[in-house]
Structure 1
Amino acid sequence: MHWTDYLGPLSQGAWVTVQLTFYSTLLGAVMAFAGGMGKLSRNPLLRGLAVVYVEVFRGTSLLVQLFWLYFALPLAGQAIGLDLRIPPVVAGVAALGLNIGAYGAEVVRGALQSVKPGQAEAARALNFTPRQSLWRIALPQALPEMMPSFGNLAVQNLKDTALVSLISLGDLTFRAEQIRNFTQDSIGVYSLLLLMYFGMALVLTAIMRATERAVGRWRPVRR
């Protein structure tokens, strides 16, 4: 086989990787804001749940989390009489999104805490509720500070999608391994794999930088 013959199967796998990256990054963003704001909540239950979530998913391996969701969770469900089997794509999106969200939660928390205390005092002087102060004052100022770190996490998430090949999900890495096993052409296959991941990472970086520039306009003018 010529190396150009690899492009068809690899492109199919790349599309799966793109979908995994997109959906898990969305889930990760939701969990990052939920976890980050939860850690700053005055409600001890919400704060405790956020701390447990962040510490568990940051303190354990993504690979183990993926295996637990796909292999261990169904067995735990059987033990209590529940069918908790989930498709590989759902397990992949869930593991990737929850893991990246835990790291993103610390980014959100740090950015919110970096907003000057005087902003909160001004909000109270205007009779803003804590929720209004958060959504109208703190978040618009904190979000531009989050974007560079979010961009790095998104690229890391793209690279982490390669792990889903271990649960037989037909992503880019899984397709590449199938081709390599059939052709024994490790140099050609893995070289193409590197180039395709690099290309996707460049595109994702460009998207995140464009988003960062757009959000950066929300920064208050410093005088």
Structure 2
Amino acid sequence: MLEDLEALQRALPRMLDGLLITLELTVGGALLAFAVAIVLGLLARSRHIIPRGFARVVIELFRGTSLLVQLFFLFFVLPLPPFNVELPPVLVGIVGLGLNYGAYGAEVVRGSINSVPAGQWEATTALSLGRHQRMMRVIFPQAWALMIPSLNNLLIQLLKGTAVVYLITIVDLTAELNKLRVDTDVFFAYTLGLIVYFLIAYALTLIMNALEARAKTRLGRGKPLRESIGAAPVPDAKGAAA
């Protein structure tokens, strides 16, 4: 065990560099995925067949093909004619993750908007709101509160999806764990990996839970953020919360 800890100490700078790459892929991929999800989710609800059809084709293309194959295509095929587009490996990872999980997120966006009660849509019509005002001021804030739990699941999946990006020469956390395994043993290296990935996932979950609490509070449907993450109130002698 002591030898494993010494090997970890020697590998720590490389591990931190790999962790930084994993965080860059996660944050960059998540931001791109969110943008893709919003655009495709709204287009999928369009009354016009061309934008709706375009959104459906893109969504089904990226949902129906492997993330790994998509990464290989972006990394190995795009630099070849007739595309002649060569992207840095980290950018390839971000684009691949963003497009893949953005396609899944588009269905979350579309479904959440459709889940807003019909009465809310009727109220916006009664108030003579334009389509943009209707969506941004009434419908989307309610849909946002509904979609956060599902987006949280996708965010965790995206984090775990970064583990395959090392196959396109990116030295991320998983790649460094594979190197650490050589200097230590399989149990030590991959147990450490499980712990690190869990801590990152848990931190992301806390952030998403805070966003959900804030969204519900703004709609008047939940507790204030401070109460939702704080300790439960302690009853006084009469049984009332102190």
TM-score (norm 2): 0.85
Larger Rg: 2
5+ unaligned residues in a row in structure 2: which ranges?
A: 223-242
The equivalent of 1:195 in structure 2 is 195
Query: After superposition, where does 1:15-34 map in structure 2 within 5 Å?
Result: 15-34=20-39
Letter in 1 for 2:208: M
The equivalent of 1:159 in structure 2 is 160
**Structure 1 position 131 matched with structure 2 position 136:** no
The equivalent of 2:216 in structure 1 is 216
What CA distance in whole angstroms lies between the structure 1 residues aligned with 2:221 and 2:100? 35
**Structure 1 position 102 matched with structure 2 position 116:** no
Note the aligned Cα RMSD (angstroms): 1.6
Letter in 1 for 2:66: S
What CA distance in whole angstroms lies between the structure 1 residues aligned with 2:79 and 2:152? 34
Contact 1:28 1:99 (8 Å CA) reproduced: yes
- Residue 180 of structure 1: how far off its partner (Å): 2.6
The equivalent of 1:64 in structure 2 is 69
Contact 1:63 1:163 (8 Å CA) reproduced: yes
**Identity of aligned pairs, percent?**
43
- Residue 141 of structure 1: how far off its partner (Å): 0.9
Letter in 1 for 2:13: G
Deviations 1:60-118 (A, max 9, x none): 1111111111111222xx2x3x5211111111000101111111111111110011122
What CA distance in whole angstroms lies between the structure 2 residues aligned with 1:92 and 1:214? 31
**Structure 1 position 39 matched with structure 2 position 41:** no
- Residue 6 of structure 1: how far off its partner (Å): 3.2
TM-score (norm 1): 0.92
The equivalent of 1:179 in structure 2 is 180
Contact 2:78 2:84 (8 Å CA) reproduced: no
What CA distance in whole angstroms lies between the structure 1 residues aligned with 2:77 and 2:49? 30
The equivalent of 2:169 in structure 1 is 168
- Residue 31 of structure 1: how far off its partner (Å): 0.6
Contact 2:33 2:101 (8 Å CA) reproduced: yes
What CA distance in whole angstroms lies between the structure 2 residues aligned with 1:44 and 1:64? 29
- Residue 184 of structure 1: how far off its partner (Å): 5.7
Q: What number of residue pairs does the alignment pair up?
A: 217
Deviations 1:154-175 (A, max 9, x none): 1111110011100110110111
Structure with the greater relative contact order (CA < 8 A, sep ≥ 6): 1 or 2? 1
Letter in 1 for 2:213: R
Contact 1:100 1:157 (8 Å CA) reproduced: yes
What CA distance in whole angstroms lies between the structure 1 residues aligned with 2:65 and 2:157? 16
Higher helix fraction (1 or 2): 1
Letter in 1 for 2:130: T
Contact 1:10 1:176 (8 Å CA) reproduced: yes
Which has the higher mean CA deviation after the structures are superposed, 124-133 or 22-31?
A: 124-133
Which has the higher mean CA deviation after the structures are superposed, 119-128 or 153-162?
A: 119-128
Structure 1 segments of 4+ aligned residues over 4 angstroms from their partners: none
